[in-house]
Structure 1
């Protein structure tokens, strides 16, 4: 490490909402005689834990005001963060106004996004808009040449690793890394706040920010790089298998969207984002058998999804064939043990989560956005335009088929009977070809189309 460009921390300002892990950092800092300054709740927490620290008010000589809304917003604090150590005029002003320098800023912001999930009360949400914390983060990040900023609890371990291994010194590259993390945090935070305000104001502005990222083995093809922005652990527990791929994610998305249409006991088999098998039955084993019967050839290597816990008997049947992904709300213990025998098989336990109401697609150096097709057909409101009326069973099958074709690449045709997918024509340039393909598919698997419906 170059000691000419690396800087040692002598003083730190700590203001954190989430106190998780802060004890470890404070211990490390105090061990190296770092002076610690902290704000209201953080100060109370640290002093109760027996740590020596100075309250912000001791520096500013101003109390926390407006119910805690203003604590750190003061020249004596921000001057110490923003002062350029190699600028003589800055240093002269620090001496003139008795402003202490601050070398490290640790902040964990008010949990605005978590509050959005837990309440709809506007006053509570508004109070979770962090002002002082976000200002500290931006100031410290701007002056990364002289200051280290740790903008979230998730960066604590990385900070401690560098701090412990390098005698408390940080290189310019390391400080710049933390500054980039800080602006990432602040921009994401402000985007969330904007989108909350914009739900009513509806400015014609598109802003999305996703901070979680997973680097995939490759994209759709091996020569393409692939990245997933999002946190799949919020949606599933992965109980077995290899890392989820780009193509897996596409099929999983298609499976979730399709399965969400059904309340009855369902098994669907997805291949290349389309259902090649699907059935609703009284029991899971029956639904599995009927779904596989739809197209046993195409099913190989696909994605299975069900909306019921997988029992042992069904697991025995599934285990006879190769499937890359199995998704269910739960698995009986014996079932899971059996299915995990194939080490690469991805097994996902689906959590309860709300599906997004918007759909995005990159196009022409921009983004297309539309409402998701969430319309549900009501059999009571069906309008028959022919003289022949459908029976109650046929109406149920029509609604069943319509749910499938809604999630099938156009031009698409779906044939169904007794709540079982019989055949489908997918992604054809004409509906006539789609019908031909659907009929051919159904007949090739021995289905009698007498009494079947088409959507």
Structure 2
């Protein structure tokens, strides 16, 4: 309990004090006006104190409070008992108040602080000394102290909260409500936790450290999740801000499913941007799986060939292109129902054409070079924790001809195209690819996400044959021999080889590695299949 004497001493402290020390000085005047209006004294140091004076407000230097001048380079300013005890002491404990008075310490009721711009510095320079000099020490200590004692102290760490705090001071005669103090304290702890995460990420050199700390920023509240009854939001890993950055030119807000599908397209698009710099490439994705992929020397044809792979699945799809959308392609896109397009840019005439479809989301990649940098690791959240693995960036180890007499050098680029496509398809997966004209490729059929690999084979072949029939009518059979069937993993039995031969497929590509490889090879030799091993599996779950 607090004695009457202590209560009188506390009453004498009614004039409040705010310690202001900010790197981001945006909108500071909003709070300064509120502090002046409610007779709250301001103490500060360094550049913040100078800024406050320039804005026309009175400010007391921290050195006047502590009796200690600033150390060189501002290394020590606020790390002093007269600052930290003023923040941390318990106003209801008599011995706390007695010590405060005996040392003539003025209580601090508000701490307004944000930290040195460490992350921004790492993006703008490689100078290690400069980066390390932007590791904040005193600010973190003040924020944590104020957040810990939020029962009595209000801590504000972002300019976004200045206006709300000022309004609450006006509404409550210079006071902040306990609930608001707690909310601000939570933000403060998150602020310092994120800051430490950024610093540890900078120094971390391992992909698989003993302690993994990730930081994400909330970018968008979504209307709902995968289904209307699920709430959802979108968070972005802070160090990916530049790497995967795009500008929305038009269309509705991105939904949970849009973002999920977009991620599927981005994965493949990055692979294709790194492998096909001169060719035009189009990826069409539905429910995170590509349902059409093609390359060409012109975008119109690439789009047409990608769309022709599975016209039904392409309805309501997400499109990725590795070059600017031109007017002719835009006219074709306009005739389809598409949810979203992501591309490096759009010709003016193409934008005018696509504006007629107001709900179509158009995304423009801001930084192509940064976009093409593929992350070293993948993270997958599971109910048991998190799985982390190296990104699957390779295509094949080496091509080994196990049966048949096909010239591998004649088909290795088509095989590379097939693997680039299949390694981004949910397992078990099979795709059928072809070189529809010299140097340009198309995925013409796919069997996606099947527990049974034989069923995946049949689905892919039937889809490919349907497309050939549509293109060549009665002459389709003679085109089947030019197709290549690619599997993401080995065939454990020879049944898929037999099924391929039944439909006229002549060339099959798989990793190999089964205990029954010998059986699969012997069957391939017997029935005339060109069997090529890659030595590299590409599961994707």
Query: Same fold, TM exceeding 0.5?
Result: yes
* Counterpart-to-counterpart distance in 2, 1:19 and 1:9: 25
| Deviation of the 1:413 alpha carbon | 1.1
Aligned to 2:25: 19
Aligned to 2:384: 365
| Deviation of the 1:132 alpha carbon | 0.3
Q: Are 1:394 and 2:425 counterparts? A: no
Alignment partner for residue 65 of structure 2, among 51, 56, 59? 59
Q: 1:91-240 alignment to 2 at 5 Å?
A: 91-199=97-205, 203-230=209-236, 235-240=245-250
Q: What residue ranges of structure 2 are gaps of 5+ in the alignment? A: 1-12, 436-440, 470-478, 487-541
| Deviation of the 1:305 alpha carbon | 0.9
In structure 2, relative to structure 1, the CA distance for the partners of 1:203 and 1:323 (3 Å cut) is closer
Q: 1:240-259 alignment to 2 at 5 Å?
A: 240-259=250-269
| Deviation of the 1:383 alpha carbon | 4.1
* Contact preservation (8 Å) 2:15, 2:39: no
| Deviation of the 1:405 alpha carbon | 0.3
In structure 2, relative to structure 1, the CA distance for the partners of 1:404 and 1:203 (3 Å cut) is closer
Deviations 1:161-189 (A, max 9, x none): 43344443211001111011101111111
| Deviation of the 1:35 alpha carbon | 1.0
Q: SS of 1:230's equivalent?
A: strand
* Contact preservation (8 Å) 2:395, 2:416: no
* Counterpart-to-counterpart distance in 2, 1:50 and 1:376: 64
Alignment partner for residue 450 of structure 1, among 481, 488, 497? 481
* Counterpart-to-counterpart distance in 1, 2:129 and 2:206: 16
Q: What residue ranges of structure 1 are gaps of 5+ in the alignment? A: 1-6
Aligned to 1:260: 270
* Counterpart-to-counterpart distance in 2, 1:94 and 1:187: 30
**TM-score under structure 1 normalisation?**
0.92
Q: SS of 1:297's equivalent?
A: coil
* Contact preservation (8 Å) 1:9, 1:168: no
Alignment partner for residue 404 of structure 1, among 397, 414, 421? 421
Aligned to 1:3: none
Deviations 1:359-378 (A, max 9, x none): 12233421111111122548
Deviations 1:289-338 (A, max 9, x none): 11111111211100011111111221111010110111112122332233
| Deviation of the 1:8 alpha carbon | 8.7
Alignment partner for residue 34 of structure 1, among 33, 40, 56? 40
* Counterpart-to-counterpart distance in 2, 1:9 and 1:288: 70
In structure 2, relative to structure 1, the CA distance for the partners of 1:366 and 1:349 (3 Å cut) is same
* Counterpart-to-counterpart distance in 2, 1:40 and 1:99: 21
* Contact preservation (8 Å) 1:9, 1:103: no
Alignment partner for residue 356 of structure 2, among 331, 341, 359? 341
* Counterpart-to-counterpart distance in 2, 1:254 and 1:131: 41
Q: SS of 2:451's equivalent?
A: coil
In structure 2, relative to structure 1, the CA distance for the partners of 1:216 and 1:92 (3 Å cut) is same
Aligned to 2:85: 79
Q: What root-mean-square deviation, in Å, do the aligned CA atoms of Structure 1 and Structure 2 show?
A: 2.3
In structure 2, relative to structure 1, the CA distance for the partners of 1:367 and 1:409 (3 Å cut) is same
In structure 2, relative to structure 1, the CA distance for the partners of 1:157 and 1:286 (3 Å cut) is farther
* Counterpart-to-counterpart distance in 2, 1:201 and 1:70: 35
Q: SS of 2:217's equivalent?
A: coil
Aligned to 2:318: 303
Aligned to 2:498: none
Aligned to 1:4: none
Deviations 1:23-65 (A, max 9, x none): 3322332233321111212112222343321110011111121
In structure 2, relative to structure 1, the CA distance for the partners of 1:153 and 1:367 (3 Å cut) is same
| Deviation of the 1:78 alpha carbon | 0.9
* Counterpart-to-counterpart distance in 2, 1:201 and 1:368: 12
Aligned to 2:530: none
Alignment partner for residue 289 of structure 1, among 301, 304, 314? 304
* Counterpart-to-counterpart distance in 2, 1:188 and 1:446: 54
Aligned to 2:450: 428
Deviations 1:241-272 (A, max 9, x none): 22222211111001000011113311111011
* Counterpart-to-counterpart distance in 2, 1:425 and 1:439: 8
Q: SS of 2:65's equivalent?
A: helix
Deviations 1:207-232 (A, max 9, x none): 21213253322222233332322279
* Contact preservation (8 Å) 2:88, 2:146: yes
